[in-house]
Chains A and B, each alone.
Chain A
Amino acid sequence: MALLGLSEELRLLDDMARDFALKELVEGREERDRYPFAPLFEEVLSKAFEVGFFTILSPEESGGATEPVQALCLVLEEVCREDASLGGAIFTVALTQELLRLAGAEEIWKKICAGGASLRETLPAFPSFHNPSDTTLSLEARRDGGAYRLSGKAEYVVLGNLAGKALLPARSAGEGWSLFLVDLGSSGVLAGEPVLSLGLHACPAVDLHLDEAPGELVGEEGKGEGYFEAAVDRLSVAAAAASCGVMKGSFETALDYARQRMQGGREIVNWSEVRMILSSMAVRTKAAEMMVREAAEAADSRRAGWELASRAAALQVQEAAAEVACDGIQLLGGNGYMQDYGQEKRFRDAKQLQALLGMAPLRKLRFIRRVVDGEKPWVFRG
């Protein structure tokens, strides 16, 4: 990320994230990406946890950053430049934490954190590729005295086979849906096999089957949509940052290759059509970087209009990333399609990341609905 104008704290964080990514995420990437047919990279997850990548959004006194959205964006971008799977895990935890905060349940987060030193006891799981308001929920909650019992299926719960607890959206009596915290070790919770997916292979997800499983209501009943949309406001830009990181990795790899690969007697970087494709990749990546930067800064300083800026960044950057990563394969030809160069993984990851926070067309419609309803889309006021 262009660092001009960033605080000293953010610069240091960016350096640290870059070093971490180069040291921990490059070597063995192909093998890690074979999950679920290879072991899960728990060691890397633990290291990321130790350096604080999973608690960036925490209040400052608990080790969080002073400009949390920008900090999260920097980390996601640097991490996803090398391996977006870790980015998917960091994003999911941040989203869960944000939902808990919005629902006034920070105590739960603290409890999760205090639960133990182990990764499994600490990280929460959440279905981060779905907006529960998009489609009808299968999971249903029934009041049982002072507690709730949940039954039905929760699909594609990210980190669901790793985490001790999951935050799950479910329908309950009355309008709307609610958030419930479910202990994944409790009776009545059955986790399926890891779901084989397009990308982010090492960011595991499972389907959970619940049968009268005990759940703790988080926030108010029926207010899930409100919490979720507010979380989407704040974290859309972080999703965009993850995609921006993939774009950078894809472009850098393509440029390196184009400088070395010969065709028709010279390096392919010297054919003008190749330059045209490289340029279009670079321009879209630069535009993504600027968009993320501006939206993240606006979100941290809560400048009026930051919410739509954040959402626009996600829609725009995620789509561009899928295109750039596609060109990133194309420039390497057959080699780009093989696992050895990392480009095919970036292509899959970029498309997978586009589905973060729910179906893209519906996010687009929500964006314009808010503009139609009177939110100002263009300028930051104040």
Chain B
Amino acid sequence: MWRKGESSELLREFPDFTDTMHSLTALERMPIGVVEECRQAVAMARRFNRAVAHSYSLDLDRKMQEDPTHLPWELVEEANRWGFFTMWIPKLFGGKGWSLTSISPFVEELASECLAITNLIGVHYFGYSILAATWNIRLIDLISREVVEGERNGKPCLVSGAVTEPEAGTDAEEVELLARAKVRCQARRVEGGYVVNGRKIFISNGHLSTWHILVAYEDLEHPDETMIALAVKNGIPGFSFGRMEKKMGQKGCPASELVFEDCFIPDEYVLVSASQARDMGMRRSPREAGMQLIDFVVSATRPGVGAMGAGVARGAFELALQFARETEVEGRLLVNHEWAQCLLAEMYKNAALARLSYMEANYSNSMYGMARLLGFKPLYYYHRYAPNRVMDRLMPAVNAKEAVTKVFRKLVMDGQSDEEARRASGWASLAKVAGTDLGVRNCQLALELMGQAGLRHDRRAEKCLRDAKLLQIYEGTNQLNRLNLFKCLVSPAAPEARVFED
């Protein structure tokens, strides 16, 4: 005989069923329309790869090797023409409103051709996700509509995210570390706004973006409790671009330095701050709210980086397969040698595992992360089928009201439990580590198989390897992500464990 509640208790034992079975759990909750969106997103990416990326990616990489200061505006404009910068902006804010789940398969597909182009498109959504994670509806609406307008008038308006500093990379991704970090980018409170001083580095698309979502700190002695997000637009006095990094790969997507010198940001461009949260009566402490903001972002973006890993794993596999099909070894095609077949099977498997990981993390994030409201079926279908002109007439006025921001923040921020945050963030790290390690692995294997041919730029495989290595570093190094995975998914089974104390 089963005791009442026994089954639930058993399922809550480590590993909690809910922590491990996201796709199964999502099956009943997910609007079926998402499947069709994913199919369309993949088809669209394949079309773009054929029409643009395949021929352009090598030229761009070579061009950047020749002139590392080149800014690939032509690519930004092309992606803008294809409508890629508004596809995942909700219709509430004037965008095309594709479901977030469909972005990762799209990213994988692009990444199978070129990671630099993928990053140039994808990192716009990294910037956008910080903006969205603040749930400052007025500013989300304002900036989103500028991106949409930029698409309409052919003057691309991209969003970058500025977090990393010269002396704080990993530290900026975790409040425990942030508390002891050497951050330097300060937003000092003054009458009517903030004055920002400091530098941000490695900002993907910095030079190419119009808006920059800046994470700074009000008190450099207590950055973990005084995190502040500001919206910075090009041209504002005191803000300028510094150097462009010379990277090993992903060269087509610039990594920029952003420089702030007594840069005044008026109150109306404050996305979120501790005092703002306090005034709205949010339930989390400033430090907890800081971690939630980080988790909101990385739970959405890390699966995307995992998808880039899956994509490059596939790209490398496809190049190796092509090589094996056209190369004769000892009088037989390489593809007919048993060892080569096992190697190619291994590479296919690596790509498949990377894909499974990011899809699982995607389900987790769609159910527990910052955009889960949009996956709620009635809202999803209303959002999907309501005509844009109706939305565009109604929403700007609604979105401008502070009360709307407050309602959303209560629903999404206060409404998210710590358990949910932990699940989304832990799986995002898992997918990021798995996908990127498998991606680099496949590139290494492809180069070994291809020998001399693999070394040549014109054969593409070497570019895959150079590009892929960055995936293990950005969006938190894979070491930081392993620790976050431990914190989120393993430490529930080891309550005595302390993370980041070593």
Contacts and interface: CB of A to CB of B under 8 A. Distances in A.
Given A135-B329, A344-B248, A352-B455, A330 B473 contact: yes
B444 interface: yes
Interface in B446-502: 447-452, 454-458, 462, 465-466, 469-470, 472-474, 477-479, 482-483, 500, 502
Nearest to A329: B469
A232 to B, nearest CB: 14
B86 interface: no
A68 interface: no
Given A134-B329, A263-B171, A334-B474, A129 B248 contact: no
A362 B483 CA distance: 39
Given A264-B176, A339-B246, A359 B449 contact: yes
A338 B246 contact: yes
A355 interface: yes
Interface of B: 62, 65-66, 164, 167, 169-171, 176-177, 180-182, 201-202, 245-249, 327-329, 339-340, 343, 440, 444, 447-452, 454-458, 462, 465-466, 469-470, 472-474, 477-479, 482-483, 500, 502
Nearest to A136: B328
A361 B478 contact: no
Contacts of A340: 246
Interface in A338-382: 338-340, 344, 347-348, 351-352, 354-355, 358-362, 365
A273 B180 contact: no
B473 A197 contact: no
A338 B466 CA distance: 11
A358 B452 CA distance: 7
A262 B182 contact: yes
9 contacts: A34-B65, A197-B455, A197-B456, A198-B454, A198-B455, A273-B483, A354-B447, A355-B455, A359-B451
A355 B462 contact: no
Contacts of B202: 334
A337 B343 contact: no
Given A198-B455, A264-B177, A326 B447 contact: no
Nearest to A352: B455
A202 to B, nearest CB: 13
B440 A326 contact: yes
B479 A348 contact: no
Contacts, number: 136
A129 B451 contact: yes
Contacts of A195: 456-458
Interface residues of A, number: 50
A326 B66 contact: no
B65 A264 contact: no
- Point out which of B169, B449, B451, B482 has the most chain A C-beta atoms below 10 A from its C-beta: B451
Contacts of A127: 452
A326 B456 contact: no
B487 to A, nearest CB: 14
A146 interface: no
Given A135-B328, A334-B473, A337-B469, 6 more contacts: A130-B452, A198-B447, A271-B502, A330-B472, A355-B451, A361-B449
Given A263-B170, A265-B181, A334 B164 contact: yes
Contact of B444 (A266, A322, A362): A322
Interface string A120-133: 00000001011000
Contacts of B249: 337
A135 B454 CA distance: 14
Contacts of A329: 248, 469, 473
Contact of A156 (B450, B455, B474, B502): B455
Interface in A137-167: 155-156
A196 B62 CA distance: 8
Give the residue among B176, B444, B500 with the most A Cβ atoms within 10 A.
B444
Contacts of B474: 334
Q: Which of A30, A277, A360 has the most CB of B within 10 A?
A: A360
B248 A348 contact: yes
Contacts of B328: 135-136
A351 B465 contact: yes
Contacts of B340: 361
Contacts of B176: 264
A336 B500 CA distance: 23
Nearest to A338: B245
